[in-house]
């Protein structure tokens, strides 16, 4: 049997290696359009920033090493230009010689990946305007910076690669401005969690122009003008387009394969396409979201690798199934770690799911052990069933550990109530006896059993100002004096029992503290004294971050950048 694979990198290279591990006799040919068959996309910004100094470190395998170890015919700089499914052949062009030829196959696997979204705007063909997707893109940007020493850069778009690039270019001493139409970065986050990311970037000197629309680019004697809708242009030395990716499926479309969202390739759970003996994997395929069951596009290396393995299994006569993707991801933004899994609150609303949520701000390890740092966690679950829908965590050390536990719980179909029972590793330098994941379970159990009623950051402006409710801040006098929400009376939680007579009986009490813990303790006291009490989820720390970000976002003019 002969298997032809179109595209290497994650899905295609994984499939080729898996086929060989399962069957020594199958002939495997991989055609890769670029000059690199297997490389780390996520490492590309770090080569530009000088964190990774050896360009060879970006390539996980070379055609020669792959051929030597797996006896796979790896042909880089070869582009498949047509698929002839009825004849079971593909037309291939050698990009170095210009020669075209046909190659037959018994099974065909498509792993074309995705390509940078290129808006139809004037000026996108300039030499100092770049995209970042391949090793070749990386080398072009690196060479341009080395040769021209640009002082300023505009990044159009703020996804994962864009933010990693922003950090690395900033560390090279460049003034970095991120411009995008949406008003928040990192779509998997809800807006209040994204506020922590915005705050970190601004603190590091990154200019954020969110809610602005780029309409084109003009070449100047010194660089480029970024044309903005209904605003003056923004001058920079170079521009990187990072507005996202789209499935690279022109070949599949021409071959008549069934297409789905944004012309992605429709596959079943065996990674089979609509045409017999043709499989597809990676960023170009439409998948089922593990949480919602809806069709989705999720461009992540982990999913591509799993799909490549599954397709290889089925090509070799096994029966493997892809169970869907839940979008688990993590990113480093300077010293901040940001991680997500499952769906966010906005997606839950869109899907019509009746949900609840909790915020908590635990330390990454035991409080008495030096060096503990606060993380902010948001866990979303379905009401009634308490099925875990998703989680978002922003913090420092230990974020990746907790998101992986929550991702595993989602995949295992656990209830949020079961989080409290997980037996997780504990030692003072690493965790607390009550791990943050356990704490999320305790909070959700309190909701389920009626011991915890909550109110949230987006309800502050809706609180009645007519005296019909009591507004209570249970932080210390010192904390309260440094900032508080107008109208809230300050009674520290440790004084509450003795000062209960200052609260009017019969009125609902809305309570806040710094993180949500002391206000919860206050609610337990008040509930048992006959008050109806609502705890502010996330605490003043979350609220203050959101308010500060809103104020910063109103400053549309980015510091230090020249407008034309």
- Catalytic residue list: 42
Is residue 472 within 8 A of residue 511, CB to CB? The reply is: yes
- In sequence order, which residues have a C-beta less than 8 Å from that of residue 289 and are 6 or more positions away? 295, 296, 298, 324, 325, 326, 327, 343
Q: The tokens of 389 are what? A: 């829908």
Q: The tokens of 370 are what? A: 């030096």
* E strand or H helix at 47: helix 44-48
Is residue 287 within 8 A of residue 90, CB to CB? The reply is: no
SS3 state at 378: strand
**Cα atoms in the Cβ-side hemisphere of radius 13 Å centred on 12:** 33
Name the pairing type of β-strands 214-219 and 224-228. Answer: antiparallel
Give the burial string for 331-356 (b: 16+ CB within 10 Å, else e): bebeebbbbbbbbbbebbeeeebebb
Rounded to whole angstroms, the Cα distance separating 244 from 167 reads: 18
SS3 state at 291: coil
* E strand or H helix at 439: helix 436-448
CA nearest 437: which of 457, 418, 463?
418
Rounded to whole angstroms, the Cα distance separating 438 from 358 reads: 13
Give just the sign of the alpha carbon dihedral 158, 159, 162, 166: positive
Rg (CA), the chain: 27
Is residue 518 within 8 A of residue 438, CB to CB? The reply is: no
Q: How many CB atoms lie within 10 A of CB 406?
A: 29
CA dist 320 → 24, 314, 315 (Å): 20, 6, 10
Q: The tokens of 1 are what? A: 């049997």
């Amino acid at each position: 049997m002969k298997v032809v694979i179109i595209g290497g990198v994650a899905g295609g290279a994984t499939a080729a290696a898996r086929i060989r591990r399962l069957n020594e006799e199958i002939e495997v040919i991989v055609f890769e359009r670029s000059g690199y068959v297997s490389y780390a996309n996520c490492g590309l910004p770090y080569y530009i920033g000088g964190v990774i100094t050896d360009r060879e470190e970006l390539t996980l395998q070379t055609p020669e090493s792959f051929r030597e170890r797996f006896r796979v015919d790896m042909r880089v700089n070869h582009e498949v230009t047509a698929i002839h499914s009825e004849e079971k052949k593909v037309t291939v062009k050698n990009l170095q010689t210009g020669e075209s030829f046909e190659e037959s196959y018994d099974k065909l696997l498509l792993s074309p990946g995705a390509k940078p979204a290129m808006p139809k705007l004037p000026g996108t063909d300039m030499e100092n305007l770049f995209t970042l997707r391949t090793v070749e893109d990386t080398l072009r940007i690196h060479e341009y910076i080395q040769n021209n020493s640009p002082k300023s850069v505009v990044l159009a778009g703020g996804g994962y690669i864009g933010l990693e690039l922003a950090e690395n270019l900033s560390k090279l001493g460049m003034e970095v401005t991120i411009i995008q139409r949406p008003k928040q970065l990192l779509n998997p986050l809800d807006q209040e969690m994204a506020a922590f990311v915005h705050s970190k970037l601004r603190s590091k000197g990154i200019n954020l122009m969110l809610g602005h629309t780029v309409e084109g680019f003009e070449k100047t004697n010194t660089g480029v003008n970024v044309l903005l809708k209904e605003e003056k242009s923004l001058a920079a030395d170079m521009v990187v387009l990072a507005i996202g990716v789209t499935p690279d499926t022109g070949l599949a479309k021409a071959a008549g394969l069934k297409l789905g969202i944004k012309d992605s390739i429709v596959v079943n759970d065996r990674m089979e396409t609509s045409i017999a003996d043709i499989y597809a994997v990676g960023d170009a395929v439409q998948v089922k979201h593990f949480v919602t069951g809806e069709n989705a596009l999720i461009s992540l290396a982990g999913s591509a690798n799993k799909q490549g393995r599954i397709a290889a299994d089925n090509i070799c006569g096994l029966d493997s199934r892809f169970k869907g993707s839940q979008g688990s991801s993590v990113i480093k933004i300077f010293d901040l770690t940001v991680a997500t899994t499952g769906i966010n609150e906005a997606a839950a609303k869109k899907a019509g799911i009746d949900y609840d949520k909790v915020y908590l701000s635990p330390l990454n390890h035991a409080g008495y052990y030096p060096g503990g740092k606060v993380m902010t966690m948001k866990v979303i679950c379905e009401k009634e069933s308490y099925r875990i829908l998703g989680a978002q965590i922003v913090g420092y050390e230990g974020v990746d550990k907790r998101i992986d536990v929550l991702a595993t719980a989602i995949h295992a179909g656990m209830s949020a109530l079961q989080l409290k029972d997980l037996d997780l590793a504990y030692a003072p330098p690493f965790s607390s006896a009550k791990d943050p994941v356990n704490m999320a379970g305790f909070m959700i159990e309190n909701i389920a059993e009626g011991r915890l009623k909550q109110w949230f950051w987006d309800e502050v402006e809706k609180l009645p100002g007519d005296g019909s409710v009591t507004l209570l801040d249970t932080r210390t006098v010192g904390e309260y004096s440094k900032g508080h929400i107008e109208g809230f009376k300050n009674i520290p939680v440790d004084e509450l029992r003795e000062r209960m007579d200052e609260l009017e009986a019969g009125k609902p009490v809305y309570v806040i503290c710094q993180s949500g813990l002391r206000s919860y303790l206050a609610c337990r006291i008040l509930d048992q004294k006959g008050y109806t009490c609502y705890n502010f989820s996330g605490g003043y720390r979350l609220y203050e971050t959101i308010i500060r970000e809103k104020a910063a976002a109103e400053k549309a003019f980015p510091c230090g950048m020249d407008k034309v």
